[in-house]
Amino acid sequence: MGASCTREKITIDGRRFYVIKRLGEGGFSYVDQVEESSTGKKFALKRIQCHSIPEEKAAEEEAKFHQLFNSPNLISLEAWCKQTASGEDSEVLLILPYLKRGTLQDELDKLSARSEHLSEERLWKLIRGICEGVHALHHTDPPVAHRDLKPGNVMLADDDNPIIMDFGSMSQGPEEIKGRSQAVALQDVAAEKCSMLFRAPELFHVDSHCTIDEKVDIWSLGCVFYNMAFLQSPFEPVYQRGDSLHLAVLGRNYKFPENSRYSAGLKELVDSMLTVEALERPNIDWVMDKLSTIDRDLQNQV
């Protein structure tokens, strides 16, 4: 007798999906490729494993964040549900678009392997698209901070449009920190969910009385733009040496390669965004205005 293999079936909002293969996994979730039975269309299924009530609540909030935005540069949500797993465990399932090209980090890794770089034109096109997504986040009422912007959390559509994904670290509205216990709690969450090489200084050591707002994303964006141009985070050399990343961030211990292939506007933009004091750091509107100025300068050079 021949062996048969039955594909896993998932039903959400009356729509039936069959699991095709595993695409990847992280510390808190798995991502599978699925196919909708009625249309044959492929999607990505994000499975968030929840082992406690707080984890379940956080996963549900991630799903609900998707419903706040309508931007081509923020990943959309087709459907979602919560289902009981085993014992007290549960699973939150998110049906997301399937983008076969993968992430911006995948693209940068390929370029690095070939000793190539993004062209100037493509660099600025991708930067503007990413900023459009962040602009949509920060202009929600109240504003939303992503808190884990990095090349690995930016997908590339078939038309090269950058799409920000992974809303699991998001926070809505400025967070008022009142006391050491609250500060330590946020610091622990940041250490767990916000990638170290792109993390804003105010999340490395959270003050006992402060306000953490969406400007954490501006710092991360500065790191992302540097990474896109030079294929590593500005603080990666420090990390690779085993030195203190926190001290390097506070001291702005990074430098641009000599004889950069890109226009001076990139250095000016990144330097402005990597401002340690959040109150002095620009907002996304300033960044967008700066991009328009850079674009005009580049057009005049043609």
Nearest to 118 by CA among 153, 74, 149, 162: 162
The owner of tokens 């991708």 is 126
Q: How confident is the model at residue 28 (pLDDT cuts 50, 70, 90)?
A: confident
Catalytically annotated residue among 148, 166, 213, 217:
148
Nearest to 148 by CA among 241, 224, 230: 224
Q: Which CATH superfamily is domain 9-97 in?
A: Phosphorylase Kinase; domain 1 (3.30.200.20)
Q: Per residue in 119-177, pLDDT tens?
A: 999 999 999 999 999 999 999 999 999 999 999 999 999 999 999 999 999 999 999 99
Question: Which numeric CATH code is attached to 104-301?
Answer: 1.10.510.10
Q: Per residue in 194-237, pLDDT tens?
A: 999 999 999 999 999 999 999 999 999 999 999 999 999 999 99
Q: Count the helices and strands in the chain (H runs, E runs).
A: 10, 12
Q: Where are the alpha helices (DSSP H) in the chain?
A: 53-66, 104-113, 120-138, 180-193, 201-204, 216-230, 236-241, 245-250, 264-273, 284-301
**Is 34 in contact with 8 (CB distance < 8 Å)?**
no
Q: Per residue in 38-47, pLDDT tens?
A: 999 999 999 9
Does the pLDDT value for residue 58 go beyond 60?
Answer: yes
Residue 159 is which amino acid?
A: D
Quick count: other Cβ atoms within 10 Å of Cβ 139?
14
Sign of the dihedral through C-alpha 143, 152, 101, 21:
negative
Q: List strands edge to edge, sheet with 42-50.
A: 9-12, 15-25, 29-36, 42-50, 90-97, 79-84
For β-strands 79-84 and 90-97, DSSP reports them as antiparallel
Whether 148 sits among the annotated catalytic residues: the reply is: yes
In the chain, domain spans? 9-97, 104-301
User: Furthest-apart CA pair in the chain: how many Å?
Assistant: 72
Calculate the average pLDDT of the chain: 94
Which is higher by pLDDT, 141 or 298?
141
Distance, CA of 100 to CA of 291 (rounded, Å):
29
Distance, CA of 46 to CA of 156 (rounded, Å):
18
Distance, CA of 235 to CA of 114 (rounded, Å):
23
Q: For 102-118, what is the mean pLDDT?
A: 97
Sign of the dihedral through C-alpha 257, 262, 263, 266:
negative
Residue 280 is which amino acid?
A: E
Whole-structure pTM value: 0.93
Nearest to 145 by CA among 199, 79, 206: 199
